[in-house]
Structure 1
Amino acid sequence: MGARGKKVREQDAWLVFEDESGQALRPPKSRTWSRIGVPPQVKVSGKGSGRVSVAGMVCAKPGERTRLFYRMLVHHPGRRGEKNGFREQDFAALLDAAHQQLGGKTVLIWDNSTQHKDALMRELLAARQQWLTVFRLPAYAPDLNPAEGVWANLKNDLGNLAACTVDALADLTRTRLKKMQYRPDLLDGFITETGLTWTPP
């Protein structure tokens, strides 16, 4: 991580990787077992266009257990006033919640999404500069973000589960993310996949 790694060591800070993902009612493709010559089929409802959006952060610090924090938004079709994606204030609230639990300083690494770098987000980040330092990933570099491993693992689990409603999909998503929170070894694996040198506690 070069200069970023030095920055983390100097501040005795948590290194936090953030990213967002989403899932609709049509499940992602996944592999499974079946009898020879009998392709498995998963029936999907096809009704509605609800969506579950998730913002997640993989948080690492030498000598500490790797953590996963996340927030979910559930968008039901036809419901006015429901947010269908994360806004700047949502990201700030997620950062504040993680900071409250982790304590100390934070070095945040995320991509160049518009909502990560617009005027409102810059203002919100500046208000937290006493404990927060921000770096942005290069363009089109998902392989450098351990949070991408979280989404890949999640979608692999959801691949053969055809939820009938967006609320059922939200429940399945929440259950699997909570399981990941209790698997620091799995989260460490997502960090290792990026090529980042990492020594778990």
Structure 2
Amino acid sequence: MDTRERLIESARELLWERGYVGTSPKAVQQRSGAGQGSMYHHFRGKPDLALAAITRTADDLRGRAEAELSAPGSPIQRITTYLRREREALRGCPVGRLTQDPDVMADPTLRAPIEETFAWLRKRLTDVLAEAQRQGELDGELDLADTAAAFVAVLQGGYVLARAAGDAGAYTQAVDGVLGLLSGHVR
């Protein structure tokens, strides 16, 4: 991994662990093993590095979700696989946790990849649900956009419940609950 990549990966980890304020340039340099000159050679400053890290994290989330949502299997199987994928529930979502960071949310440039990711995810889930309806897997009474938004909310809320309880089982319970609700619409 070259220096630029080490800086981005280190910033990603620190943003997930500590948030924006807790991710100092010095901490990134220490974790990456890069010097101050290297950091400022590749990035104009902390906001520029944070944007690269947030964008990479958001791209990663979309890539993993797309791989599961476009995999072989029925639409409901793919959604179930996506929702039940093993996650680090006690660490929280690396994208969702950034929404709790006032400095990130106050900066439209840093907030943009987060907004775009959640909008993309809601749309992608809506599309897979529509596919399930077209194939007769789901009844026609289910509001697809509302259901997709509920899936995203349950995932993010599941992380919060797990972190609050110190128990990943709370996350699993939330996912199982929403899948149970969905099963009432499966034909």
Task: Tell me the TM-score normalised to structure 2 length.
Answer: 0.28
TM-score (normalizing by structure 1): 0.27
* Bigger relative CO (Cα 8 Å, ≥ 6 apart): 1
The structure with the largest helix share of the pair is 2
